[in-house]
Amino acid sequence: MPDHSGSPVVIAVDQGTSSTKVIAVDEAGRVIGSSSVALDQQHPHPGWVQQDARAILASVITGIEQASAGLGSRVVALALSSQRESAVAWSRTTGEPLGPMLGWQDRRTIAAAQALAAAGHGPRVRAITGLPLDPMFSALKFSWLLDQVDPDRSRSDAGEIALGTVDSYLLYCLTGGTEHRIEFGNASRTQLLDLETLDWSDELLALFDIPRRALPRLAESSEPSAVVTAVPSLPAGTRFAAVLGDSHAALYGHGVRTPGSVKVTLGTGSSIMGLLPPGRDAEAGLVTTIAWCTPETTLAFEGNILSSGSTATWLAGLLGVTPPELFALAESAAASASASPETGVDLVPAFAGLGAPWWDESAKAVMTGFDLGTDRASLALAAVESIALQIEDVLAAAESAESGRFETILIDGGPAANDFLAQLVADLSQRRVERPTVSGLSALGAAHLAGTVAGVWSDDTVRAFDRGSTVFEPQLSAPDARTRRERWLAAVATARGTRLPSLTSFEKETAS
């Protein structure tokens, strides 16, 4: 076991799409060390999004080594927050990936999803898993990966091939193949977990043609892992004391433990999440998911936006500027005397279809309202506004499902650090926005749970930690905000090839 003498420290890994971030948190809840390792994505065909699982593993090892440098035996536990629906297949013998890791944004399985929906399987899949049939979730990705290396499933049935999400692959490799497990929150994103029985669904395993033997063991969020052996600089006997999906970890990091609060995590995409009251399911274009299991199982509603920060990154590259410069351009356009909620450019970033609340994989990315006078700043504003407007679409749907208004929303994630974007969210949603002054809520939330498991602090202590906050109140008038959303929804209708002439129509659609 590790030497627990001295002031204890928890090392928390936040493994994301664009980078792996690692922080060291002391017993007072302060971040005393950090590291960030950038990661690449590959897009070999339109709609395909993949990464190298080995590069992800290497980034985690490097990040842990850098963040824990000089801490020695003070490190008493590890924590993991990870991207969720991304899927990996690997050899149980060597731990080597058997192909690329298919990212959560990957849409190569659209045809398979459409075929299953056309055959009438959608309602049953949602009833079992809380999720709509969509390429975002892992089941179709697992099936595609097996089709490439094990088309008859003989190797999977023989136990030669392992399947898992990022948390599962990392723990397998970091513990030297000692255990093949998946945390319940991540498992609930695979579209294979029965939310009622809390076990893999035999019905869905048959539907997606995935052998049970290839899947990992289900584990509680607070179940300590086997000993980590792949990071020699850690004290002997160090384990992961907690594992959470990244969005779930951010909710935990905000201190949310009961229904009523909602958080928005901004990143490559965005996740809007809040806890569900007992006995309630998400409706109106949202999904039901397991927030965490500690060991009590807590359910949450969630709306997933496929393109948020990635929209700004894409347009910045197209215009030859950096993302911060793009946000500055957008702010200059918003401050222009000619800016109006009635007219202007709308960019609907349906690069891979639309997620919540529409779940329309056939939607196409469109830009409307531009003319010969449209300039770079106008395009930048349209991209940044699309982030805030998509968030409000999900919040409105969540309110319809929960029968109440969210007057305050909690925001976190890299793009949330931009004051202009935070103010846009407040203005276009007509809600109070609170942004913690501490950064890295996903890593911090995982650290908080791990520290509780390891006895560094209690949950009451964690919730009492000073997170601070910057508050953004709406500055745009309510009529102007409504007018701007009407314009946006017309552009969404264009992207979807439908007619949605008014905000009232949207409210009726998301409530149905």
234 and 260 share one domain: no
Indicate whether 1 pLDDT > 50: no
Mean pLDDT of the region 253-262: 88
| Residue 461: Cβ-neighbour burial (10 angstroms; 0-12, 13-18, 19+) | middle
Give this prediction's pTM.
Answer: 0.86
382: in domain: yes
Mean pLDDT of the region 373-384: 94
Angle at 278 between CA 273 and CA 284, to 5 degrees: 50
142: in domain: yes
Domain boundary among 244, 264, 279: 244
457: in domain: no
| Structure confidence at residue 401 (pLDDT) | 53
- Range scoring the smallest mean pLDDT among 26-40, 71-85, 87-101, 453-467: 453-467
Angle at 182 between CA 286 and CA 57, to 5 degrees: 105
**Cβ atoms of 44 and 71 closer than 8 Å:** no
Tell me the residue ranges of DSSP E strands in 47-128. 50-51, 75-82, 88-91, 101-102
Instruction: Give the CATH number for residue 290.
Output: 3.30.420.40
| Structure confidence at residue 465 (pLDDT) | 83
| Structure confidence at residue 111 (pLDDT) | 93
| Structure confidence at residue 403 (pLDDT) | 56
Domain boundary among 244, 277, 292: 244
Higher pLDDT, 224 or 464: 224
Neighbouring-strand partners of residue 432:
408
Indicate whether 10 pLDDT > 90: yes
455: in domain: no
**Cβ atoms of 8 and 456 closer than 8 Å:** yes
**Cβ atoms of 130 and 195 closer than 8 Å:** yes
Spatial neighbors of 119 by CB under 8 A, at least 6 apart, are none
78 and 227 share one domain: yes
- Give the pLDDT band of residue 430 (cuts 50, 70, 90): very high
153 and 196 share one domain: yes
Mean pLDDT of the region 345-374: 91
250: in domain: no
* pLDDT, tens digit, 9 for 90 and up, residues 264-297: 989 888 889 999 888 787 766 888 999 999 999 9
Indicate whether 75 pLDDT > 50: yes
163 and 286 share one domain: no
Average pLDDT value over all residues in the chain: 91
| Structure confidence at residue 508 (pLDDT) | 64
158 and 283 share one domain: no
263: in domain: yes
How many structural domains compose the chain?
Answer: 2
| Structure confidence at residue 506 (pLDDT) | 61
CB atoms within 10 A of CB 235: 17
5-38 burial, b at 16+ Cβ within 10 Å, e below that, comes to: eeebbbbbbbbbbbebbbbbbbeebebebbbbbe
| Structure confidence at residue 105 (pLDDT) | 87
Higher pLDDT, 282 or 110: 110
Indicate whether 342 pLDDT > 60: yes
Indicate whether 3 pLDDT > 50: no
Mean pLDDT of the region 59-72: 95
291 and 143 share one domain: no
Higher pLDDT, 405 or 457: 457
Domain span at 290:
255-435+477-512
| Structure confidence at residue 304 (pLDDT) | 87
Domain boundary among 223, 244, 265: 244
Neighbouring-strand partners of residue 50:
42, 102
- List the structure tokens of 347: 């960019």
Spatial neighbors of 376 by CB under 8 A, at least 6 apart, are 319, 329
161 and 264 share one domain: no
Mean pLDDT of the region 175-204: 97
Indicate whether 2 pLDDT > 50: no
205 and 274 share one domain: no
| Structure confidence at residue 4 (pLDDT) | 45
- List the structure tokens of 345: 């450019």
| Structure confidence at residue 400 (pLDDT) | 64
CB atoms within 10 A of CB 288: 19
Indicate whether 512 pLDDT > 70: no
313 and 366 share one domain: yes
Phi, psi values for residue 356, rounded to 5°: -65, 150
- List the structure tokens of 150: 């094990």
165 and 265 share one domain: no
- List the structure tokens of 220: 């509680």
Residue of 390, 131, 397, 407 lying closest to 260 (CA atoms): 407
Mean pLDDT of the region 373-396: 94
The contacts found for 287-290 with CB under 8 angstroms, 24 or more apart, are 287/130, 287/131, 287/132, 287/356, 288/130, 288/131, 288/195, 289/130, 289/131, 289/185, 289/188, 289/189, 289/248, 290/184, 290/185, 290/187, 290/188, 290/193, 290/195, 290/248
124 and 208 share one domain: yes
